Structure 1
Amino acid sequence: MITLFRWALGLILIAALGLGALLVFDRDPRVPQDIALTDVQRTWARDWLVANRPRGMREGEQATLVLSEAEANLLANYVVDRVGEGRARVWLEAGRARLSASVGLPWDPLHSFLNLELTLVEDAPLPRVEKARLAGLPLPGGVFQSLLGRFVTALDQTGVVEHVRLEADRVHIRYAWRNDILENIGSSLVPEVELDRMLGYQTALAEYLRARPARRPVELGDLLSHLLSVVPDAESGSDPVAENRAAILVLAAYVNGQGVRDPSVTGTSADRPRRHTVLLRGRRDLAQHFMTSAALAAKGGGMLSNLVGLFKEASDAERGSGYSFADVAANRAGIRFSRLATGSPADARALRAFAQRGLSENDFMPPIEGLPEGLAPQDFKAGFGDPQSTDYQRMVGLIDGRIDARPLFREPPG
């Protein structure tokens, strides 16, 4: 359950960051930040999520969740704490629900906030988005509201949530569990033409992995070489940029434990790739950082990837795993790779020619030796200040220099 909540909140955050050119971030949070959960409240929220997690539920098994307004607020703030730094407020009324959330931008010297306000109205089977405001700017019928509407529609198409009833001080959610809910939601948000391409690359990935020894790790470079060497169908092969984008998105989903599904097909696809741990510089987390940033850059541009990567590193530091410049290196290398793969038809074709000769991680991923990792917030601040500081930018320059020296980026791949 926590995975679904964090996934949905993450989608909203990414959508918001993707609208960066339209936003004016607020200097003040709409939701007071002095509201702190007690240890007892955190324990209750954690226990509730554990008790209501779908693990062990059978496909199609039904369940009903009932929450009071106070309980909904505890859960909302617990989830926000798990995602980043911020606070949320939920109001439940008869036939209507309102949500306000304020999320601080990580290590922003101006201490800016992303303020979100939503109004949902009861409808069948899912509530509809009546109003959406972002960073204090009303967006009725605008882009952000449209994105949220698409998410609700995609959730509706999965058939998971059967009914939501909004009452004064209470919400009832009846659902039938589907094991592939996240994949179905993600696939429903993809245009049909792009989904067809992605399904083709997922089939190619499944065939490739079928010939590999089971349960053994695979190298990210090998997977990139194979997918970028796949000859596209004649009908869709006229756009090398779109082909490379589809391959990147499929591989990003795979390294993060997800897949792509055709929403019109029920049941488990025989083309589902067998699970393998994917490694970059011997580490799974670096492969995930690289491909996630590459996918975000392919869909939303380098600024979006940098913002999400920075937010992720801030969250890691706050939750104990620490700020890692090795992760930053993987993020930035993934962005560079994606720019080359999708920047122009000529670059896209040249990368495919390079991949056919064989890609290794040394071609695109810089060495990570000597890069600080595991920095707690106080250690990061003492050593680097914030991401705008000279010391931080010097470290980024060192990383970029290592990326520039990679064979794939040192000279045109053709």
Structure 2
Amino acid sequence: MGQVKLSDIVNLPAFEEAGRLFHRATGMSLSFKDDSGQVFFYPAEERCDFCRLIQSTREGKSRCALSDKKAAERALEGRKPISYTCHAGLVDVVVPVVVGGERVGCFYSGQSSLTPPTTMGYQEIIPKIADLGLNPDDVWNAYMKVPLVDGRRLSVAMGLLSVICNHLVEGEIALRQERALTVEQKKLRRAAEESARLEHDLREMELRLLQAQLNPHFLFNTLNLIAGQAMMEDAPETAHLVQELSRLLRNSLSSIGKIVPLCEEVESARAYVEIFRARFERNVELILSLSENLKSVDVPALILQPVIENSLRYAGGSLLLKIRTEERDGCICISVEDNGPGIPEKRLAEITASLCSKDHKGKLTGLSGLNRRLKYYYPHVPDISIANLDPGLSVAIAIPLK
């Protein structure tokens, strides 16, 4: 698959959007250093004027590089984001990127100040850069424009930058896996064999493709919410949302094609609902009615999210979601009920017919994709059951108990 480089990440279309989002949330820019040592800033037009002035000299540029290098070594060694003070007295945040135990590099937030600009603060900085031969008026004007952040926002910035950078890296890895799997799938389809081993490989590949198709807009829109809240409110609620998003990303990206305990799958679903509730300011209540003896039962990962997403998308106003489990006829039956408008009977019949169809062509997302995945794991399992309630909709899944 090849090692991921930071230059691969910054070439992604989402990176520039992520840089602007981070700037809106914190007032800081997003930067990284390529293999040749050249530094890139996003958004480029928001680069700190003070840093630009310092790095206009050869010696200043060298000192900045040394400060960044030392900070990067600390962050990579500890494998966690840190804040540090540069040679000129400004504050920066560095986030290490580690993939599969390999140190890929670091992203930086761009310099800022924890205190408003003052004459005394200016006088403390001047001795540190006096030998650079810069015009004092230019230094003063640039110093007055240094982004101002408080300690709380700096802490939020560290968490937000870590979520953004690591999500972009994990997304690039997932995309590479998708491409590699697609190529391998074509090779297998050209083969004349239809053995059980081949069938298993094909199913595994399609499950991985499903993971790569998760909608990135939801994730970035959620990050946008976090950015807005980071500016408007105290840190606790923002920290909670960052944690929920991190949990959702971690669970979904680490569960590709895996079997997980039901309690873990329910926890991922709960985090998804929590983020949706905050993002859209919707009144969504989630009630869990889980049989205690079934919580540890293994189920395919990401089976609840498509069902819940369907309810959240089509039900307006206040929404009540209920997830129930029970044991019936040698199966664990998982039902998701809502109090939405339901589905017109004609459309419901069409959906039911498509679920029963043997034609497996098409996308792997949504309820049809979920039904298809379940068939891969359990060929003889009943199709997903969809029924209108009064009011609402019920979607039921049956998984054999082993």
Interval containing the TM-score (normalised by the shorter chain): under 0.3
TM-score of the aligned structures, taking structure 1 as reference length = 0.26
TM-score of the aligned structures, taking structure 2 as reference length = 0.26
The structure having more radius of gyration, on CA atoms, is 2
Higher-RCO chain (CA-CA 8 Å, sequence separation at least 6)? 1
